Amino acid sequence: MSIVKRADFADWCRYNGIDACFVEGALLALAPHCWVGGDANTATDAPIGLEAEQAWSLASDVFCEALPALQPIIRRIGKAAPRGLLPRAGKHPQPFTYHRGAGRLPFVSCSYEGRAADLLAVVHEFAHALQLVASRRSPMPPMAREVCAFLGELFLLRWLSLNRPDLQGIIECAWVADNARYLGPDAANLLEALRAPSARYVYRWNYPIARLIAQALLARDDTALIQNLFRSGAGAHEVFAGIEPRDLPRLIPGLLPPMPASAPGDRSAVYRQVGAILLLDLQDDAAAAETAIIDRYASLFEHMRTGTAFLALSPFSHPLGYAVWSFADPGSQTPEMHSCAPFGRHETLFDTLRKTLPHAAGWLPPQPQGRQTR
Protein backbone atom coordinates (compact mmCIF):
# COMPACT_ATOMS: atom_id res chain seq x y z
CA MET A 1 0.00 0.00 0.00
CA SER A 2 1.30 3.47 -0.71
CA ILE A 3 -0.16 6.84 0.04
CA VAL A 4 -1.89 8.14 -3.05
CA LYS A 5 -1.96 11.66 -4.35
CA ARG A 6 -5.62 12.25 -3.62
CA ALA A 7 -5.47 10.75 -0.14
CA ASP A 8 -7.46 12.38 2.64
CA PHE A 9 -6.96 12.56 6.39
CA ALA A 10 -8.35 9.07 7.06
CA ASP A 11 -6.06 7.55 4.38
CA TRP A 12 -3.11 9.35 5.87
CA CYS A 13 -3.89 8.08 9.41
CA ARG A 14 -4.37 4.51 8.16
CA TYR A 15 -1.18 4.52 6.17
CA ASN A 16 0.85 5.83 9.11
CA GLY A 17 -0.72 3.47 11.64
CA ILE A 18 -2.25 6.17 13.85
CA ASP A 19 -5.82 7.29 14.47
CA ALA A 20 -7.59 10.63 14.73
CA CYS A 21 -7.69 10.38 18.57
CA PHE A 22 -3.92 10.15 18.67
CA VAL A 23 -3.53 13.14 16.36
CA GLU A 24 -6.02 15.15 18.38
CA GLY A 25 -4.33 14.26 21.68
CA ALA A 26 -0.92 15.18 20.30
CA LEU A 27 -2.10 18.51 18.91
CA LEU A 28 -4.01 19.43 22.04
CA ALA A 29 -0.84 18.87 24.05
CA LEU A 30 0.68 21.68 22.00
CA ALA A 31 -2.13 24.16 22.42
CA PRO A 32 -1.47 25.52 25.92
CA HIS A 33 1.99 26.59 24.93
CA CYS A 34 0.87 28.96 22.25
CA TRP A 35 4.10 29.17 20.27
CA VAL A 36 5.67 32.61 20.04
CA GLY A 37 7.77 32.47 16.92
CA GLY A 38 10.82 34.58 17.52
CA ASP A 39 13.17 35.60 14.76
CA ALA A 40 13.74 32.29 13.05
CA ASN A 41 16.07 33.73 10.42
CA THR A 42 18.59 35.07 12.91
CA ALA A 43 19.20 31.60 14.28
CA THR A 44 18.99 29.58 11.09
CA ASP A 45 21.24 31.95 9.12
CA ALA A 46 24.09 31.92 11.63
CA PRO A 47 27.34 30.72 9.96
CA ILE A 48 28.98 27.70 11.58
CA GLY A 49 32.38 27.51 9.84
CA LEU A 50 32.02 24.01 8.36
CA GLU A 51 32.39 23.08 4.68
CA ALA A 52 29.70 20.88 3.12
CA GLU A 53 31.81 17.71 3.18
CA GLN A 54 32.81 18.39 6.79
CA ALA A 55 29.12 18.64 7.67
CA TRP A 56 28.45 15.34 5.87
CA SER A 57 31.30 13.61 7.69
CA LEU A 58 30.12 15.08 11.01
CA ALA A 59 26.67 13.60 10.29
CA SER A 60 28.30 10.21 9.78
CA ASP A 61 30.09 10.54 13.18
CA VAL A 62 26.83 11.54 14.88
CA PHE A 63 24.98 8.44 13.60
CA CYS A 64 27.90 6.06 14.25
CA GLU A 65 27.87 7.10 17.89
CA ALA A 66 24.08 7.09 18.29
CA LEU A 67 23.31 3.82 16.45
CA PRO A 68 26.33 1.50 16.81
CA ALA A 69 24.59 -1.54 15.32
CA LEU A 70 24.11 0.34 12.05
CA GLN A 71 27.72 1.50 11.76
CA PRO A 72 28.62 -0.50 8.62
CA ILE A 73 25.67 1.06 6.73
CA ILE A 74 26.36 4.52 8.17
CA ARG A 75 30.03 4.37 7.07
CA ARG A 76 29.02 3.20 3.59
CA ILE A 77 26.59 6.09 3.22
CA GLY A 78 29.15 8.52 4.64
CA LYS A 79 31.77 7.41 2.09
CA ALA A 80 29.85 6.46 -0.98
CA ALA A 81 26.31 7.89 -1.10
CA PRO A 82 26.08 10.13 -4.19
CA ARG A 83 25.35 13.66 -3.08
CA GLY A 84 25.06 17.21 -4.27
CA LEU A 85 25.71 19.44 -1.29
CA LEU A 86 26.93 22.60 -2.96
CA PRO A 87 24.64 25.57 -3.56
CA ARG A 88 23.95 25.98 -7.27
CA ALA A 89 21.82 28.47 -9.10
CA GLY A 90 18.60 26.79 -10.19
CA LYS A 91 19.12 23.77 -7.98
CA HIS A 92 16.11 22.45 -6.11
CA PRO A 93 16.16 24.67 -3.01
CA GLN A 94 14.55 22.12 -0.67
CA PRO A 95 16.83 19.35 0.57
CA PHE A 96 15.73 15.87 -0.50
CA THR A 97 16.87 12.26 -0.53
CA TYR A 98 16.08 10.19 -3.58
CA HIS A 99 15.67 6.42 -3.38
CA ARG A 100 17.47 4.95 -6.41
CA GLY A 101 16.18 1.41 -5.92
CA ALA A 102 17.37 -1.73 -4.17
CA GLY A 103 21.13 -2.29 -4.11
CA ARG A 104 21.97 1.33 -4.83
CA LEU A 105 22.73 4.03 -2.29
CA PRO A 106 20.23 6.91 -2.22
CA PHE A 107 21.10 10.30 -3.69
CA VAL A 108 21.10 13.26 -1.27
CA SER A 109 20.65 16.84 -2.38
CA CYS A 110 21.12 19.77 -0.07
CA SER A 111 21.96 23.35 -0.97
CA TYR A 112 24.56 23.71 1.79
CA GLU A 113 25.71 27.26 2.51
CA GLY A 114 27.42 26.77 5.86
CA ARG A 115 24.55 28.02 8.03
CA ALA A 116 23.18 26.46 11.20
CA ALA A 117 20.00 25.39 9.39
CA ASP A 118 22.10 23.70 6.67
CA LEU A 119 23.85 21.43 9.16
CA LEU A 120 20.47 20.37 10.54
CA ALA A 121 19.30 19.73 6.96
CA VAL A 122 22.37 17.61 6.11
CA VAL A 123 21.86 15.47 9.23
CA HIS A 124 18.11 15.22 8.50
CA GLU A 125 18.78 13.96 4.94
CA PHE A 126 21.54 11.61 6.13
CA ALA A 127 18.93 10.05 8.43
CA HIS A 128 16.59 9.57 5.45
CA ALA A 129 19.36 7.86 3.49
CA LEU A 130 20.12 5.63 6.48
CA GLN A 131 16.48 4.70 7.04
CA LEU A 132 16.09 3.86 3.31
CA VAL A 133 19.15 1.59 3.24
CA ALA A 134 18.52 -0.02 6.66
CA SER A 135 14.89 -0.81 5.74
CA ARG A 136 16.07 -2.53 2.52
CA ARG A 137 13.14 -3.09 0.20
CA SER A 138 10.39 -2.27 2.65
CA PRO A 139 9.04 1.27 2.14
CA MET A 140 8.57 3.17 5.40
CA PRO A 141 5.41 5.30 5.82
CA PRO A 142 6.14 9.02 5.54
CA MET A 143 5.49 9.98 9.15
CA ALA A 144 7.89 7.29 10.40
CA ARG A 145 10.48 8.49 7.88
CA GLU A 146 10.26 11.94 9.44
CA VAL A 147 10.50 10.43 12.95
CA CYS A 148 13.86 8.95 11.86
CA ALA A 149 15.01 12.26 10.38
CA PHE A 150 14.02 14.25 13.49
CA LEU A 151 15.75 11.64 15.67
CA GLY A 152 18.86 12.38 13.62
CA GLU A 153 18.55 16.10 14.46
CA LEU A 154 18.23 15.24 18.16
CA PHE A 155 21.28 12.95 17.97
CA LEU A 156 23.13 15.91 16.48
CA LEU A 157 22.20 18.19 19.42
CA ARG A 158 23.31 15.53 21.90
CA TRP A 159 26.54 14.87 20.01
CA LEU A 160 27.40 18.58 19.82
CA SER A 161 26.91 19.05 23.57
CA LEU A 162 29.63 16.45 24.15
CA ASN A 163 31.94 16.99 21.16
CA ARG A 164 31.45 20.53 19.79
CA PRO A 165 29.98 22.68 22.58
CA ASP A 166 31.08 25.73 20.56
CA LEU A 167 28.43 24.88 17.95
CA GLN A 168 25.77 23.55 20.28
CA GLY A 169 24.12 26.89 21.15
CA ILE A 170 23.82 28.02 17.52
CA ILE A 171 22.43 24.72 16.27
CA GLU A 172 20.04 24.40 19.20
CA CYS A 173 18.68 27.89 18.47
CA ALA A 174 18.19 26.93 14.80
CA TRP A 175 16.41 23.74 15.90
CA VAL A 176 14.15 25.76 18.21
CA ALA A 177 13.47 28.19 15.35
CA ASP A 178 12.43 25.23 13.15
CA ASN A 179 9.85 24.29 15.78
CA ALA A 180 8.10 27.55 14.94
CA ARG A 181 7.21 26.11 11.53
CA TYR A 182 6.73 22.43 12.38
CA LEU A 183 4.70 23.03 15.51
CA GLY A 184 3.14 26.31 14.39
CA PRO A 185 1.60 26.50 10.88
CA ASP A 186 2.19 22.78 10.15
CA ALA A 187 0.39 21.76 13.34
CA ALA A 188 -2.38 24.26 12.58
CA ASN A 189 -2.86 22.73 9.09
CA LEU A 190 -3.02 19.24 10.54
CA LEU A 191 -5.59 20.40 13.09
CA GLU A 192 -7.63 21.82 10.23
CA ALA A 193 -7.45 18.48 8.40
CA LEU A 194 -8.60 16.74 11.57
CA ARG A 195 -11.65 19.00 11.65
CA ALA A 196 -12.35 18.85 7.91
CA PRO A 197 -11.46 15.24 7.07
CA SER A 198 -12.08 15.68 3.34
CA ALA A 199 -8.98 17.91 3.11
CA ARG A 200 -6.40 16.61 0.63
CA TYR A 201 -3.16 15.17 1.92
CA VAL A 202 -0.09 17.37 1.94
CA TYR A 203 3.32 16.03 2.92
CA ARG A 204 3.77 18.57 5.73
CA TRP A 205 1.04 16.79 7.76
CA ASN A 206 3.77 14.32 8.65
CA TYR A 207 6.01 16.78 10.46
CA PRO A 208 4.29 17.88 13.71
CA ILE A 209 3.50 14.43 15.14
CA ALA A 210 6.83 13.01 13.90
CA ARG A 211 8.67 15.86 15.68
CA LEU A 212 6.94 14.95 18.94
CA ILE A 213 7.32 11.16 18.59
CA ALA A 214 11.05 11.57 17.92
CA GLN A 215 11.37 13.41 21.25
CA ALA A 216 9.38 10.77 23.09
CA LEU A 217 11.50 7.96 21.59
CA LEU A 218 14.76 9.67 22.50
CA ALA A 219 13.53 10.14 26.07
CA ARG A 220 13.14 6.33 26.35
CA ASP A 221 16.89 6.02 26.00
CA ASP A 222 16.52 2.69 24.18
CA THR A 223 19.12 2.48 21.39
CA ALA A 224 17.99 -0.98 20.26
CA LEU A 225 14.43 0.27 19.77
CA ILE A 226 15.60 3.18 17.63
CA GLN A 227 17.88 0.93 15.58
CA ASN A 228 14.85 -1.29 14.97
CA LEU A 229 12.88 1.72 13.84
CA PHE A 230 15.48 2.61 11.19
CA ARG A 231 15.33 -0.99 9.94
CA SER A 232 11.58 -1.44 10.23
CA GLY A 233 10.37 -0.19 6.81
CA ALA A 234 6.63 -0.73 6.38
CA GLY A 235 6.31 -1.99 9.96
CA ALA A 236 7.66 1.23 11.48
CA HIS A 237 4.48 2.22 13.29
CA GLU A 238 4.67 -0.97 15.39
CA VAL A 239 7.92 0.34 16.89
CA PHE A 240 6.20 3.36 18.37
CA ALA A 241 2.79 1.76 18.89
CA GLY A 242 3.22 1.99 22.69
CA ILE A 243 3.48 5.78 22.63
CA GLU A 244 0.39 7.62 23.84
CA PRO A 245 -0.31 11.33 23.39
CA ARG A 246 0.45 11.81 27.10
CA ASP A 247 3.99 10.49 26.47
CA LEU A 248 4.68 13.23 23.95
CA PRO A 249 6.89 16.02 25.19
CA ARG A 250 5.69 19.48 26.00
CA LEU A 251 8.69 20.67 24.15
CA ILE A 252 7.78 24.16 23.12
CA PRO A 253 9.78 26.40 25.35
CA GLY A 254 7.71 29.56 24.74
CA LEU A 255 10.61 31.57 23.45
CA LEU A 256 9.81 35.28 23.46
CA PRO A 257 10.69 37.35 20.37
CA PRO A 258 14.29 38.57 20.34
CA MET A 259 15.21 42.03 21.58
CA PRO A 260 16.43 44.15 18.66
CA ALA A 261 19.87 45.73 19.03
CA SER A 262 19.58 49.32 20.23
CA ALA A 263 21.87 52.33 20.09
CA PRO A 264 23.10 53.89 23.36
CA GLY A 265 20.52 56.30 24.71
CA ASP A 266 17.69 54.64 22.75
CA ARG A 267 14.75 55.05 25.11
CA SER A 268 12.68 52.36 23.42
CA ALA A 269 15.24 49.83 24.70
CA VAL A 270 14.09 50.54 28.26
CA TYR A 271 10.45 49.98 27.29
CA ARG A 272 11.42 46.70 25.65
CA GLN A 273 13.28 45.54 28.74
CA VAL A 274 10.32 46.38 30.98
CA GLY A 275 8.03 44.64 28.49
CA ALA A 276 10.21 41.53 28.42
CA ILE A 277 10.26 41.35 32.24
CA LEU A 278 6.46 41.61 32.39
CA LEU A 279 6.00 38.94 29.71
CA LEU A 280 8.35 36.62 31.61
CA ASP A 281 6.20 37.18 34.72
CA LEU A 282 3.09 36.27 32.77
CA GLN A 283 4.72 33.15 31.31
CA ASP A 284 5.75 32.13 34.79
CA ASP A 285 2.28 32.80 36.17
CA ALA A 286 4.18 34.70 38.84
CA ALA A 287 2.62 36.61 41.69
CA ALA A 288 4.58 39.67 40.48
CA ALA A 289 2.11 39.90 37.61
CA GLU A 290 -0.66 40.48 40.18
CA THR A 291 0.94 43.68 41.50
CA ALA A 292 -0.75 46.95 40.58
CA ILE A 293 0.83 48.33 37.42
CA ILE A 294 1.91 51.58 39.03
CA ASP A 295 3.71 49.79 41.89
CA ARG A 296 5.32 47.29 39.56
CA TYR A 297 6.50 50.02 37.24
CA ALA A 298 7.90 52.12 40.11
CA SER A 299 9.77 49.13 41.52
CA LEU A 300 11.18 48.08 38.14
CA PHE A 301 12.15 51.63 37.31
CA GLU A 302 14.05 51.91 40.62
CA HIS A 303 15.89 48.63 39.95
CA MET A 304 16.87 49.79 36.48
CA ARG A 305 17.97 53.18 37.75
CA THR A 306 20.18 51.63 40.43
CA GLY A 307 21.55 48.84 38.24
CA THR A 308 19.96 46.09 40.33
CA ALA A 309 18.02 44.41 37.52
CA PHE A 310 19.38 41.79 35.15
CA LEU A 311 17.73 40.39 32.04
CA ALA A 312 19.27 37.20 30.61
CA LEU A 313 19.13 36.82 26.83
CA SER A 314 19.78 33.80 24.62
CA PRO A 315 22.66 33.98 22.11
CA PHE A 316 20.03 35.35 19.71
CA SER A 317 18.63 37.91 22.14
CA HIS A 318 15.50 36.06 23.26
CA PRO A 319 14.67 37.07 26.86
CA LEU A 320 15.05 33.95 29.04
CA GLY A 321 14.68 35.22 32.58
CA TYR A 322 15.41 38.12 34.89
CA ALA A 323 16.57 38.88 38.42
CA VAL A 324 16.18 41.99 40.57
CA TRP A 325 17.79 42.48 43.96
CA SER A 326 18.07 44.95 46.82
CA PHE A 327 20.13 45.17 49.98
CA ALA A 328 18.12 45.33 53.19
CA ASP A 329 20.75 47.64 54.73
CA PRO A 330 23.83 49.25 53.21
CA GLY A 331 26.29 47.00 55.07
CA SER A 332 24.78 43.65 54.10
CA GLN A 333 26.70 41.40 51.70
CA THR A 334 23.84 39.32 50.40
CA PRO A 335 20.86 41.01 48.83
CA GLU A 336 17.28 39.86 48.73
CA MET A 337 16.78 38.62 45.23
CA HIS A 338 13.72 37.92 43.14
CA SER A 339 14.24 35.86 39.99
CA CYS A 340 11.94 34.59 37.29
CA ALA A 341 12.94 32.15 34.54
CA PRO A 342 9.97 30.29 33.05
CA PHE A 343 10.22 26.81 31.46
CA GLY A 344 12.89 25.69 33.95
CA ARG A 345 15.53 28.13 32.78
CA HIS A 346 16.78 29.22 36.22
CA GLU A 347 20.18 27.58 35.71
CA THR A 348 20.61 29.44 32.43
CA LEU A 349 19.66 32.70 34.13
CA PHE A 350 22.09 32.17 37.03
CA ASP A 351 24.84 31.04 34.69
CA THR A 352 24.49 34.18 32.57
CA LEU A 353 24.35 36.35 35.70
CA ARG A 354 27.55 34.77 37.08
CA LYS A 355 29.36 35.39 33.79
CA THR A 356 28.13 38.97 33.43
CA LEU A 357 28.40 40.07 37.08
CA PRO A 358 31.05 37.86 38.73
CA HIS A 359 30.40 39.44 42.15
CA ALA A 360 26.86 38.02 42.01
CA ALA A 361 28.22 34.46 42.22
CA GLY A 362 28.26 34.67 46.02
CA TRP A 363 24.52 35.42 46.23
CA LEU A 364 23.36 32.68 43.91
CA PRO A 365 22.53 29.08 44.70
CA PRO A 366 25.58 26.79 44.21
CA GLN A 367 26.03 25.39 40.71
CA PRO A 368 24.79 21.81 40.41
CA GLN A 369 27.67 19.36 39.95
CA GLY A 370 28.10 17.04 36.98
CA ARG A 371 25.62 18.91 34.85
CA GLN A 372 26.04 18.68 31.10
CA THR A 373 26.37 21.88 29.19
CA ARG A 374 23.08 21.58 27.38
Contact set with Zn ion (CB under 5 A): 149
Closest CB to Zn ion among residues 131, 273: 131
Closest CB to Zn ion among residues 119, 149: 149
Q: How far is the CB of 142 from Zn ion (least distance, A)?
A: 9
Q: How far is the CB of 207 from Zn ion (least distance, A)?
A: 8
Closest CB to Zn ion among residues 149, 183: 149
Q: How far is the CB of 153 from Zn ion (least distance, A)?
A: 10
Q: Which residues of 199-214 are buried (b: 16+ CB within 10 A; e: fewer)?
A: bebeeebbbbbbbbbb
Q: Which residue is nearest to Zn ion (CB)?
A: 149
**Residues 6 or more apart in contact with residue 211 via CB below 8 angstroms:** 146, 150, 179, 182, 183
* Contact predicate 254/342, CB 8 Å: yes
Q: 3-state DSSP helix/strand/coil percent for the chain, to nearest 5?
A: 55, 10, 35
Closest CB to Zn ion among residues 149, 312: 149
Closest CB to Zn ion among residues 203, 327: 203
Q: Cα(285)–Cα(342) distance, rounded to whole angstroms? A: 9
Q: How far is CA 212 from the centre of its chain?
A: 10
Closest CB to Zn ion among residues 149, 171: 149
At what angle are helices 206-219 and 185-195 packed, to 10 degrees?
Answer: 110
Q: How far is the CB of 204 from Zn ion (least distance, A)?
A: 10
Angle CA(247)–CA(251)–CA(253) in degrees, nearest 5? 155
Report the DSSP pairing between strands 309-313 and 83-84.
unpaired
Span between the terminal Cα atoms of the chain, in Å: 42
